[in-house]
Every structure is written in C-alpha cells, then in structure tokens.
Structure 1
Amino acid sequence: MKNIKVIAFDADDTLFVNETYFAETEEKFCNLMSDYLSNQGIAKELFKIQIDNLKIYGYGIKGYILSMIEAAMKISNNTISVQAIERIIQYGKELTEKPIVLLEGVEETLQALHGKYKLVVATKGDLLDQRRKLHNSGLGKYFHHIEVMSDKQEIDYKDLIKRLEIEPSEFFMIGNSLKSDVLPVLAIGAHAVHIPFHTTWEHERIDHEIEHENFNTFDQITQVLTVLNQ
C-alpha cells in the first residue's frame, strides 16, 4: 500500500445516492404499465431491454429513458398512448433533478486523502450527468479529474492507468460494485476496496466470494483510511 499514487472513486452509490432514485423511477414505470403486466413481469422486460441496449446507449439516464419507452411499446404491443410516453420522458427528467445526497463519511475521507494522493473519479454513465452531479455535490474540488468510462472492464482500467502514467500496483479503486469496481481492478494487479450500498442493480451483482491479497471490503468508506495509514 506504500506505493499507492492514485486513488479512484466510483461515483454513484459510492460518493452519493443513485440506485435508490432509479428504483423509485422503475416503480413509477411499473405502476404506469400495470394494466398490461404484473410489476414483476414489467420489471423483467425493462431489465432485459436495458441490458440489450447497453451496447448502443451505454449507461446513464438517457439510455434508461429510451429503454423505458421501448419496453412500454413492447409490453403494450405498440398501443401505448402519447400521453404515457410523455410521462416516461418526464420520469427521466425528474431523475436528472434529484438532490445530491452524499453518503456518510465521504467528505471526511476525501479531506483526509486530498493532497496526499492524486484523487480521481472513475465512473460509468452519461458524461454530462456525472459532471453535473459531481459539481452539485461540492466534491469537485477534491479531484484531479473525472473519468466517465464507457464500461469498466480490464481494458478500460488499463487505459485509465496508462493515461495516469502509473503502474497498476500504484492504483487503488474504491466502489460499491464487485463486478465493475473490484474484479477487473484486481485482475490487472491493482488494489480495490468494496463499500457495499444497500441496493445494487441486478446487472452489477456477482454470486461468489472474493479472496485476494489486494482486496478489502468495509462497511463505511472512512475505514479506507485505516489501510492507507491516514
């Protein structure tokens, strides 16, 4: 750990609340479409379309809106009303206006690390939306830059580390997703910490335990300071 030069933070559900808002929007969507299917059936269809569309739209609110519209058309057999489509679009706009709620201990941790390491945000999603959230959160002053990645595979982290001009052993990733923030980071020889959030998108879940010398999991983000000797 003495070699760490760059500490990267995931944004959504690591720095501030995100998945909770998407879950609330999905509930609204299911209620809107309740005349056609059960909530479980609607949610399953929406999830399938979201995953299929990731390669086209990527991650973020815009892709989510388009997936909801596509799901509504499919579920209704193309009989969905214009008014319902307008409602779905409004749901998406409301997502962009949600308040930024920092998670417990985030600013305390950033204050302790700022100036001692190069801090970056490494997250997925829509570039405009992620920059807006970081700006509105008041956390931007702590970060060297924000990296909005199209995905979080090994190659994406390798590219990031190359741009940062460091070795993998000098990179430390903190996030709430084992699939995106931990496994690919460990695979390239870097360090990772998992800070679980109470809600995890189904696409980000894994079904096995992780044991690795470069890996830790903590309940609170402030506990990261203990392994960095802060």
Structure 2
Amino acid sequence: MTTQPDTLTTIGFDADDTLWQNEQFFRLTERHFAELLAEHAEREHLLERLLEAERRNLGAYGFGIKGFTLSMIETAIDVTGGKVPSEVIGKILVAGREMLSHPIETLPHVHDTLEALAGRYRLVLITKGDLFDQERKLAQSGLGDFFQAVEIVSDKSRPTYERIFARHGDGAAQAMMVGNSLKSDVVPAIEAGSWGVFVPHELTWVIEHVEAPKAAPRFREISHLGELPGLLSDIGDRRS
C-alpha cells in the first residue's frame, strides 16, 4: 500500500524530561555542589561558573552526567585557585556516581500514551547524552518494547532528524518529533520538515532555551503527553 505524502507515519520521542525525570537530579546535585564550595564562592556565582564550564566543555565531553561531573570538578579547581581539597573532589565524584545509578521515574501519561500509539505509528526514541547512561535509563524505564528503533546521538540538529526519519520512517515530512526542549527537539525537527510538538517541563536546562517557533505551521504545544493522541486526531482531521 502506498502512503500518501502528507500521512504521518513516524513519531520520535525525546527521553529525558519527556518520558522520565532527569533535570531535577542535576538541580539537586548543583545544590550539593554549592554546599561543598560554600567557603569559596557564593552560590549564584558558583553556578554561573559551572554553567560556563558546561558550555565550554560540550564539544569535548558532550551531554550527560559524566560531562557535568567533570565540569563540576573543573569549576571547583577554578574557584579555589587550584586549592580544592581532595575530599571535596571525592564527594563530587560520589555525587556523579549517584546520579548514574538513580532510579528512573517516568512522567505522567507516558506509558498509556505510548501503548495507544505503538500499533498506529512507528515510534523512535531519539535522545542525546552518554550511551551507557541512556541505555540504562531506557532499560529501567520498562518502555523499550514500545519503540521500533532507538537513536542515541551526540547532538540534535536538522541533519540528525533528516537522517533518522529517512532511516526509520518515510522521511521527515511524514514524521513528528515530541519533546521538552525547543532547541533540541522542536526547532531542528521543524527545520527538517517534520512536525514539532513541545511538551514543557517545569525544569529545563537553560542551554536548551530558545524562542518557540509559533509561526511555523507544523509547531504544536501540549501540556502533557496524555494530550498527544488527541492532537494527532486533530491533525488528521484537518488534513482530511
């Protein structure tokens, strides 16, 4: 059977803070980090320095907990003039390891929504970050069976979505990307020709903040994943 050019056949889902909680653990660790370095820097100044280090190190370490841990160590060395106590470095490493073993907490409506869509569309998990950590979280989430493909990428850009939706679907024009990051999940997917569905999360890393492409015909926003099936029906009705 030939698929019509405007038929939606493939849906990509972001993972962190779209399917399960993630950013809250970074915020908790930042708070602990500020407490460890309280004698050397004010909290706001310290976190500004940490963010600068994270931005600077993305090209070398990529996204994820390991890069975040290395950036904390680098920041601790910087704000103490190279005199950070070894026990503080040790506690930072422990905090990073604890993040890597934290239990997975799926967000509301995730399981029911994926179950409802799995038989109607090709579902593809598209996430960036550390390979081992993302594989661990997917395995612990119990959601793996819903996805026909999993792509763990170093970054998300227009070419990323063009490549993935050509490989696992019928091309970007017949695909949709769903996620909590406008910068990574929505804007580049729309640039590739896909639908982009923004699902806001109360905590989103500042590096992921950009303006919503509200004028784009294929941009949509929902308050939680439970609204996605209704949105898909609405899109189908408008096309028919």
- TM-score scaled by structure 2? 0.92
1:189 to 193, 213, 221: 193
Query: For the residues of structure 1 that align with 2:22 and 2:56, how far apart are their CA atoms?
Result: 21
How many angstroms does 1:144 deviate by?
1.0
**Aligned: 1:148 with 2:152:** yes
1:132 aligns with: 136
Q: Aligned pair count?
A: 230
Q: How large is the Cα RMSD of the aligned pairs? A: 1.5
Query: For the residues of structure 1 that align with 2:156 and 2:55, how far apart are their CA atoms?
Result: 15
Q: Moved runs in structure 1, 4+ residues, more than 3 A?
A: none
Query: For the residues of structure 1 that align with 2:26 and 2:152, how far apart are their CA atoms?
Result: 19
Query: For the residues of structure 2 that align with 1:150 and 1:220, how far apart are their CA atoms?
Result: 26
Local SS of the residue matching 2:18 = coil
Percent identity over paired residues: 37
Consecutive unaligned residues of structure 1, counting only runs of 5 or more, are none
The letter for the 2-side match of 1:40 is E
2:178 aligns with: 174
Query: For the residues of structure 2 that align with 1:146 and 1:96, how far apart are their CA atoms?
Result: 20
How many angstroms does 1:3 deviate by?
1.0
1:83 aligns with: 87
Query: For the residues of structure 2 that align with 1:154 and 1:208, how far apart are their CA atoms?
Result: 16
How many angstroms does 1:211 deviate by?
2.2
**Aligned: 1:49 with 2:62:** no
Query: For the residues of structure 2 that align with 1:211 and 1:32, how far apart are their CA atoms?
Result: 45
**Aligned: 1:122 with 2:162:** no
Local SS of the residue matching 1:62 = helix
Local SS of the residue matching 2:233 = coil
1:92 aligns with: 96
Local SS of the residue matching 1:227 = helix
1:201 aligns with: 205
Local SS of the residue matching 1:189 = coil
Q: For each residue in 1:120-145, what CA deviation from the matched residue of structure 2 results, as whole angstroms up to 9, or x when unmatched?
A: 11011111101110110110111112
2:238 aligns with: none
**Aligned: 1:14 with 2:50:** no
How many angstroms does 1:14 deviate by?
0.1
How many angstroms does 1:169 deviate by?
1.1
Local SS of the residue matching 1:206 = coil
How many angstroms does 1:165 deviate by?
4.9
How many angstroms does 1:98 deviate by?
1.4
